[in-house]
């Protein structure tokens, strides 16, 4: 865990040095310790993230990044409309055949399965990472969602370059 934190700190210091533009790095609003803690929470679901992502031909690092950005790895974040790790809304779940109780959407395996189904659908529909990421969060691609897309892209890079992850399977 300490090694991961050191790698992350080094990565962010290098990024800040390379990219000195103010406001460019929106993840900078949280501390390195918070980022490492959130990553640790997300990583506990890595086997499910990897399995469900690969079944759908999605980069598992993208799935992990969306989980990170949506819920910071909390299986039951406080949101009355969206549920679980990937913050799936009920209508989206039903679109992919979910017929259970809303509470079941908080189950990490169920949530990741439905979330990756939706993400795969969006990637196939838009054929573009940025549009699919924006649509995942907003319902359809929009320029208003630029910071979210940027955060997810940066997080995906971090998950793919840090220990205990795999090489991306889908380019962006």
Rg (Cα) of the chain, in Å, rounded?
15
- What are the sequence ranges of the domains in the chain? 2-161
Q: What is the pLDDT of residue 27?
A: 59
Using CB atoms within 10 A of its CB, is residue 66 exposed (0-12), middle (13-18) or buried (19+)? buried
Answer whether 68's CB lies under 8 Å from 38's CB.
yes
Residue partners of 135: CB distance under 8 A and separation at least 6: 122, 125, 126, 141
Under the banding of pLDDT at 50, 70 and 90, the label for residue 170 is: very low
Segment 43-52 mean pLDDT: 96
Under the banding of pLDDT at 50, 70 and 90, the label for residue 16 is: very low
Partners of 83 in the β-ladder: 88
- Which CATH code fits 2-161? 1.10.530.10
Cβ-based neighbour number of residue 55 at 10 Å: 12
pLDDT digit string (tens) for 91-132? 999 999 999 888 899 999 999 999 999 999 999 999 999 999
pTM of the shown model? 0.79
12: closest CA among 42, 30, 63, 61? 30
């Amino acid at each position: 865990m300490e090694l991961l934190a050191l790698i992350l700190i080094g990565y962010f210091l290098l990024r800040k040095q390379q990219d000195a533009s103010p406001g460019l790095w929106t993840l900078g609003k949280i501390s390195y310790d918070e980022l490492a803690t959130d990553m640790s929470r997300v990583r506990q679901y890595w086997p499910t993230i990897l399995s469900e992502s690969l079944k759908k031909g999605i980069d598992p690092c993208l799935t992990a990044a969306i989980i990170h950005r949506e819920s910071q790895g909390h299986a039951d974040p406080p949101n009355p409309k969206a549920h679980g790790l990937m913050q799936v809304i009920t209508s989206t779940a039903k679109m992919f055949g979910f017929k259970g109780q809303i509470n079941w959407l908080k189950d990490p395996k169920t949530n990741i399965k439905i979330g990756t189904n939706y993400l795969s659908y969006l990637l196939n529909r838009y054929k573009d990472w940025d549009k699919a990421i924006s649509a995942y969060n907003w319902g359809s691609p929009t320029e208003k969602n630029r910071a979210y897309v940027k955060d997810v892209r940066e997080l995906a890079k971090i998950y793919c370059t840090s220990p205990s992850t795999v090489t991306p399977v889908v380019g962006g």
